[in-house]
Amino acid sequence: MKAIKLAASEGRAVHPAGEGALVVRGLTVSYGEAPAVFSADLTVPEGSMTAIVGPNGAGKSTLLKAALGVTPRLSGQAHFFGEPLGQVRRRVAYVPQRASVDWDFPTRVLDVVLMGLWRDLGLLRPVRARHRQAALDALARVGMADLSDRQIGQLSGGQQQRVFLARSLAQGADLYLLDEPFAGVDAATERAIIDVLKALRDEGRTVVAVHHDLSTVADYFDRVALMNVRVITEGPVADAFTREALQEAYGGRLATVQIDQLRLGAT
Amino acid sequence: MSDFVVLSLVPMGIGAFAAVACALPGNFLILRRQALIGDAISHVVLPGIVAAFLVTGTVAALPMLAGAAGAAVVAVLLIEAIRRLGRIEPGAAMGVVFTAMFAGGVLLLERSDTSSVHLDVEHALYGNLESLIWLDATGWSSLLDSEALVGLPPELLRTAVACGAMILFVALLWRPLKISTFDEGYARSLGVRTVPLGLALVVAAAVAAVAAFDAVGSILVIAMFICPPATARLMTNRLERQVLLSAVIAAVAALAGYVFAGYGPLWLGRADAVSAAGMIATISGLMLGVACVAAPHRRRAGEPAAG
């Protein structure tokens, strides 16, 4: 409820923060002179599956990172389940871009997944059989159970992505924020990942993914946020994924022919 | 044999403690692509120590540590400031800051009266490992003689404490260090305070550098931050084993280097000895060279998997 007061004090009319798994208001991030994300609003209802779509450099990843406090924000707020992130970290899992880490790091698949249990393990609590089992279960969900001892430098791109997803699954969170989970992965991995994400949604959990492939938006997601530095439109795919919104987000870069091939919402 | 206890035992111990103390944080610096920070710290320590001496008039451990840690923090802030204000790449910003601070330290040292204490420019580079002898010792039995033990050079205790502190630092903060070194963004999303942790790592490295510095000099400190961890990285693919191995390699390099420096020229028919710090650094460099050619895990990520 604090969110309402904060937002109200800025003269903004907002939905109650308690309504969504993630509610972002007026988020602005700048790395240099031009803002990477400008005054972005986003409302992600619980139990939904949302794609954040937009051209390169639209600030999609930055929006996620800034909401999570991974990247500093100039202004704006993000509330998770109606609370600031610090109160509900256990309920939120972040899956960074696969390419953002050095896969030459000296560790095994299982160790990476165990990182997801940090909030349970803390500094010094020993890794017990049940922790190891939780990590192995998470790996099994993404079809990687037999690779738990593999050195991470030996994984393919698709396997790396599955390990990252398993690490977030091990957290047992209610909200999953994924940064380009399908970038550079093979078709089998894409299928496996989307199956896991849909299963999470069916369990009542919430999924938000930065997504690049316009042709799969309608198949994979039930909500979409189109952005280009600002959030242009957000809502159920049927309402928000329109020709006009796409043209606004992508400018002239998206040929009409391409748009015609998409399964769009009503226009 | 009593000669060995008097002349060599203590310097070897100091060398090994100092080497291990520097190698432990060095593992994380290298994996974070911050190896240069180790280099920077070992330079920056000098003005910190000189400033602490000028303020307190002693070379006691605590003021030295405070001075060096303060200098390390100043250096980190300066590097950040130059990087942001001047839009210069981090490597160059670091290079500017640590060479300038080191040079400033040399000037400060030249102009201040340190004749009463063991503090001069040569010392800062090479250390004085060979001079840290145990005059009160008469043989191995002195190790049990409380009177002789009092006469041990204070550097031995100082480096041993630093070594213990580094072991404690790495053991206590193992998980956050590992997570944030591998994936800083993810660590932050979990609530790991990565900025203070990164700063703590730099300060820990500064503590190791200070403790080692006045015994072994900055050349050896730089070598020990980088060579043993880099060698260990090539020998294993597990962080746990890498860190343990780096400590073993550092200790072996220190002991072997000291022996070769003292007796190597003798074995070659020369009567003199060479700088122990120089020899230890050279040996650790050679070990890295051998590992580059022969170690089992020199394959970089991106190359085809072995199977």
- Kind and range of the H or E run holding A12: none
Burial of A149 (0-12, 13-18, 19+ CB in 10 A): exposed
Task: Kindly indicate the confidence band of residue B116, based on its pLDDT and cuts at 50, 70 and 90.
Answer: low
Tokens read off for B292: 């580059």
Task: Kindly indicate the confidence band of residue A265, based on its pLDDT and cuts at 50, 70 and 90.
Answer: low
Phi-psi region of A150 (alpha: psi -120 to 50; beta: other; left: phi over 0): beta
CA atoms within 13 A on the CB side of A244: 7
Task: Kindly indicate the confidence band of residue B256, based on its pLDDT and cuts at 50, 70 and 90.
Answer: very high
Tokens read off for B250: 């550092």
Calculate how close chain A gets to B237, using CA atoms only, in Å: 4
Q: Are B280 and B258 in contact (CB under 8 A)?
A: yes
Per the prediction, chain B carries an average pLDDT of 86
**pLDDT tens profile A85-95:** 999 999 999 99
- Which of A40-44, A155-159, B297-301 is predicted with the least confidence, judged by mean pLDDT? B297-301
Question: Which of B84, B174, B182 to probe by mutation at the A interface, max A CB count within 10 Å?
Answer: B182
Burial of A247 (0-12, 13-18, 19+ CB in 10 A): middle
- Which of A188-192, B76-80, B246-250 is predicted with the least confidence, judged by mean pLDDT? B76-80
3-class secondary structure, A184: coil
- For the cut 50, the answer to whether the pLDDT of residue B307 exceeds it is no
Is residue B292 in a domain?
no
Task: Kindly indicate the confidence band of residue A12, based on its pLDDT and cuts at 50, 70 and 90.
Answer: very low
- Kind and range of the H or E run holding A38: strand A35-45
Is residue B294 in a domain?
no
Topology given in CATH for the domain delimited by A2-258: Rossmann fold (3.40.50)
- Which of A96-100, A184-188, A197-201, B51-55 is predicted with the least confidence, judged by mean pLDDT? B51-55
Q: Which CATH number is B124's domain given?
A: 1.10.3470.10
Q: What is the Cα–Cα distance from B108 to B96, expressed in whole angstroms?
A: 18
Provide, rounded to the nearest whole percent, the portion of chain A with pLDDT above 70. Answer: 90
DSSP for A79-110 reads: EETTB-GGG-GGGEEEE--GGGS-TTSS-BHH
Is residue B119 in a domain?
yes
3-class secondary structure, B237: coil
Tokens read off for A249: 């987000």
Is residue B13 in a domain?
yes
**Mean predicted confidence (pLDDT) in B61-77:** 83
- For the cut 50, the answer to whether the pLDDT of residue B207 exceeds it is yes
* Domain boundaries, position B111: 2-128+143-215
Q: What is the pLDDT of residue B304?
A: 44
Chain A residue with minimum CA distance to B229? A106
**Mean predicted confidence (pLDDT) in B144-168:** 91
Is residue B278 in a domain?
no
Sign of the alpha-carbon dihedral angle for B109, B114, B115, B118: negative
Q: Chain B contacts of A154, Cβ < 8 Å? A: 305-306
Chain A residue with minimum CA distance to B185? A70
- For the cut 70, the answer to whether the pLDDT of residue A116 exceeds it is yes
- For the cut 90, the answer to whether the pLDDT of residue B34 exceeds it is no
CA–centroid distance for A72 within its chain? 17
b (16+ CB within 10 A) / e for A108-142: bbbbbbbbbbbebbeeeeeeeeebeebbbebbebb
| Partner A contacted by B237 (CB < 8 A) | yes
Overall number of domains in chain B: 1
Q: What is the Cα–Cα distance from A194 to A182, expressed in whole angstroms?
A: 9
Q: What is the Cα–Cα distance from A115 to B186, expressed in whole angstroms?
A: 9
- For the cut 50, the answer to whether the pLDDT of residue B57 exceeds it is yes
Task: Kindly indicate the confidence band of residue B5, based on its pLDDT and cuts at 50, 70 and 90.
Answer: confident
Residue spans of the domains in chain A: they are 2-258
